[in-house]
Structure formats: structure tokens, C-alpha cells
Amino acid sequence: MSYSIAGKTVIVTGAANGVGLAIGRHFVQGGANVVFADMDEKTLCHEVGEAAEKEENVRIFAGDLRKKLTIKNLLSATIDAFERVDILVNASRQVTQTDPLDPDDNSVEELLQQNTMTALRVSQAVARKMIKQAEDGPAGPIGSIVNISSIAARRTHPELLAYSVSSAALDQMTRSLAVAFAPHGIRVNAVAFGSVMSASLKGSLKGCDETREAIVDNTPLHRIASPSEVSDAVQYLASDASSFVTGQIITVDGGRTLLDPAAVSCH
């Protein structure tokens, strides 16, 4: 089976920055048609706007995917541009701190909505489109959905309660949708990562040598992952190379989750 995603049409949410942006660019380099979707229109245009104007296989879509109408418009824009959708990467994610003792803290509800429910609704809409566009086609696999999760789903940090809960819910959603969509030829998997040297992490680590050292010391491979290492794992799950893989959470963390949870902080 091939790892190629050339000619495939991919929607990447959360694609204005961080891991989502890296995945989108990785897929463009691999010859895929890519729709970069994010609610941060300014950053989206800054990072991808020029490519969208110059390259036929790049489009941008700005909107709040927590709204059903926005999801519908995203699909319409994708079909108008590329006539079909083959792959969805749910990379839209938010990290915020929680006060575990504050009953007025709404962070759990907010991150469940942002990190889990949005991925669910977009997956449902895209799956229906994949099924419809395959009605007159040959039998067999018709699409792949890859959710971007975190090792926070399996690691405990009080201040990351909401992020951990939403990540764990996303992992279970991945497994449930994998079973539900399998009869239709749609695979659903996830990539859970630890610390990735994205632009945002670089900014947060600037002048914080102790934090950087703590992350590296708690990672058996003794370094922080590059965005391309997450992108490669996503490409594997999106491509025909993983045609018999569904409902799996692939961990890309350099062995970090193998250590004592008490010693590891998840980001």
C-alpha cells in the first residue's frame, strides 16, 4: 500500500498555527488539495493567504466551526474548489487552565465544546459527504478521519483538568466513530502527541530554560518533537498504507507516557 496522499482532498481544521498549520503544509507538499480552516482569519491569511492565491491546491476557510452553518459552508467551499473530500484532520484544539476547586470554572464545558464536540460535528458532516460521493463509485475504503489528540488524555495535571477531559473524550469518540463508520468504508484514528516544537511552544519556552530541560529530561528520546514528526504519523493514518487500521490512538511522544505520570507535565 502507498503512503501517498497526492491528489486527495484534505480538510485540516485548526490550521492557522501550530500543529494544524504544519500538517496542512505537509499535505500540500505531498501533492494533496488542502483546505486550511480556522476561526482566526487574520493569522490564517498571514500564514496561508499567499499560497492560496498562487497555488491551485490550496484554499483557506475562516469561520467558527462550533456553529453548524459554518460546518456546512466549509463543506460547500471544499466541494466547490475540489469536487470531493477524502481526508479530514481535526486539529482544532484549545488549551486552557482549570481551577479544580472553583465551581464557577467553566473550562471543562468550554473545552469539551471546542476540542471534542466540534471534531464530532465536523466528522459527522464530512462522513455523510464521503458516503454520498461514494454511492456510485467502487466498493472499498472511501475516506479517512484523523483526530489530533494529546497525551494529556492519559496523564493527570490539576491545572489541565479541562484539557485532559476533552482529550480523553476525543480519544473515546475516535474509537466509537471508527466502529460506526467502518461499514461505510471510513476509517477513524487519532494521533496523540506530547510536546512539539511549534511556533507557539517556541514562544512559551523563550527564556524558560528550566521548562525546556524538564520536558527533555522527561522524554526518553531526550528531545522535543518537530511538527513534521506528527505530520508523518498523520499522513500514515490518512493514506492507504494504513488501510486496515481504524479506531487507534497512535502516540507520538518520544516515550514520555512510559515514565512515571507524576513526573510528567502534558502540553
| pLDDT at position 201 over 80 | no
Which CATH entry fits the domain spanning 9-263: 3.40.50.720, 3.40.190.170, 1.10.8.350, 3.90.440.10?
Answer: 3.40.50.720
Q: How confident is the model at residue 198 (pLDDT cuts 50, 70, 90)?
A: low
pLDDT at 221 (0 to 100):
77
* CA pair distance 73, 45, nearest whole angstrom: 18
* CA pair distance 205, 125, nearest whole angstrom: 38
Q: Estimate to the nearest angstrom the gap between the alpha carbon of 170 and the chain centroid.
A: 10
Spans of all domains in the chain: 9-263
pLDDT tens column, 157-193: 888 899 999 999 999 999 999 999 999 999 999 999 8
pLDDT tens column, 112-160: 999 999 999 999 999 999 999 988 665 557 899 999 999 989 988 888 8
Q: How confident is the model at residue 265 (pLDDT cuts 50, 70, 90)?
A: very low
Question: Using the 8-state DSSP alphabet, how is residue 83 labeled?
Answer: S
Q: b vs e for 164-173, b when ≥16 Cβ sit within 10 Å of the residue's Cβ? A: bbbbbbbbeb
Check residues 160 and 201 and name the one with the higher pLDDT: 160
Rg (CA), the chain: 18
Share of the chain above pLDDT 90, in %: 69
Average pLDDT, integer, range 217-227: 76
Judged by DSSP in three states, 66 sits in coil
- Per the CB < 8 A criterion, the answer to whether 235 and 30 are in contact is yes
- Per the CB < 8 A criterion, the answer to whether 16 and 249 are in contact is no
pLDDT at 244 (0 to 100):
96
pLDDT at 260 (0 to 100):
59
* CA pair distance 99, 233, nearest whole angstrom: 33
pLDDT at 1 (0 to 100):
62
Question: Using the 8-state DSSP alphabet, how is residue 220 labeled?
Answer: T
Average pLDDT, integer, range 192-206: 67
Check residues 32 and 18 and name the one with the higher pLDDT: 32
Highest mean pLDDT: which range of 151-160, 201-210, 231-240, 254-263: 231-240
Full DSSP string of 129-177: HHHHHTTTS-SS--EEEEEEEEGGGSS--GGGHHHHHHHHHHHHHHHHH
pLDDT at 108 (0 to 100):
93
Nearest to 122 by CA among 94, 152, 151, 85: 85
* CA pair distance 136, 138, nearest whole angstrom: 7
| pLDDT at position 264 over 70 | no
Q: Return the axis-axis angle of helices 68-82 and 118-133, rounded to nearest 10°.
A: 40
Strand partners of residue 225: 196
- Per the CB < 8 A criterion, the answer to whether 170 and 113 are in contact is no
Average pLDDT, integer, range 211-216: 72
Judged by DSSP in three states, 58 sits in strand
Q: Please work out, in degrees rounded to the nearest 5, the angle formed at the alpha carbon of residue 166 by the alpha carbons of 212 and 235.
A: 70
Q: Which helix (H) or strand (E) holds 188?
A: strand 186-193
pLDDT at 88 (0 to 100):
98
Q: Which residues 6+ apart lie within 8 Å of 114 measured at CB?
A: 66, 92, 93, 94, 166
- Per the CB < 8 A criterion, the answer to whether 262 and 157 are in contact is no
Q: Return the axis-axis angle of helices 18-29 and 41-54, rounded to nearest 10°.
A: 10
Average pLDDT, integer, range 206-226: 73
| pLDDT at position 19 over 70 | yes
Share of the chain above pLDDT 70, in %: 88
pLDDT tens column, 22-76: 999 999 999 999 999 999 999 999 999 999 999 999 999 999 999 999 999 999 9
